[in-house]
A = this chain, B = another copy of it.
Amino acid sequence: MPTEPLTPERILAATEEVLRRHGAAKATVVDVARALGVSHGSVYRHFRTKAELRGAVTKRWLDHTTELLAEVVAGSAAPAAKLRLWLATLFEAKRHKAGDDPELFATYTVLTTENGGVVDAHIAELIGQLTRILDEGVRQGEFESADLPVTARAVFEATAHFHDPVHAPEWSRPGAEQAFDAVVALVMRGLTSR
């Protein structure tokens, strides 16, 4: 059987598998190398340290959500509908990650606390996406904002209840969907031009 080339993506997929099995505390680079049938030296040729590997796998996990949301931003919906869809897609993606595989979600929650810089870059990217939607809305006369990036951050923080992992225990409670609708309605009303 010909050996598949050892790409960063293969290493990161194997790392996620190892994290799923062993948890954040116990997963080692040796486990990752073993899962791939390579030496740990081969892994270190792509990721120089264990910390770098953990940062990269965290970024990959967060990027899945960013890519999903980028499709919404690129779509042709009117700005208000697009913003609502963006917020609903973010809530849905986070809720799925938390609900479908709670252990992996807990593992990544540990990893995000170790990788503050990766998380800050992720948040900046999401607020950048929101800024683009608000900009479209202001140009088309649907929204009003004195300072787009400030308003975009306010929209992100006002909806933190429905995307920040610190709130994950509340996402499966009865009424979470109605609570989301009520907050989004309030935020949308706050943005709408008059």
CB within 8 Å of B: which residues of A? 150-151, 153-155, 157-161, 164, 166-167, 178-179, 182-183, 185-191, 194
Of A150, A153, A158, A190, which is in contact with the most chain B CB atoms at under 10 Å from its CB? A158
Q: A76 to B187: give the CA distance in the assembly, Å.
A: 27
How many copies of this kind of chain does the complex include?
2
Instruction: Say yes or no: B166 contacts A154, CB within 8 Å.
Output: no
A164 CB contacts on chain B under 8 angstroms: 166-167
Instruction: Say yes or no: A187 contacts B158, CB within 8 Å.
Output: yes
- Pick from B159, B167, B179: contact of A153, CB below 8 A: B179
A185 CB contacts on chain B under 8 angstroms: 154, 190
Instruction: Say yes or no: A154 contacts B167, CB within 8 Å.
Output: no
Instruction: Say yes or no: A191 contacts B182, CB within 8 Å.
Output: no
A155 and chain B: residue at smallest CB distance: B186
Q: A75 to B164: give the CA distance in the assembly, Å.
A: 34
Question: 14 other contacts beyond A158-B158, A160-B161, with CB at 8 A cut-off?
Answer: A151-B186, A154-B182, A154-B183, A155-B186, A157-B161, A157-B182, A157-B183, A160-B167, A164-B167, A166-B166, A166-B167, A185-B190, A188-B190, A189-B191
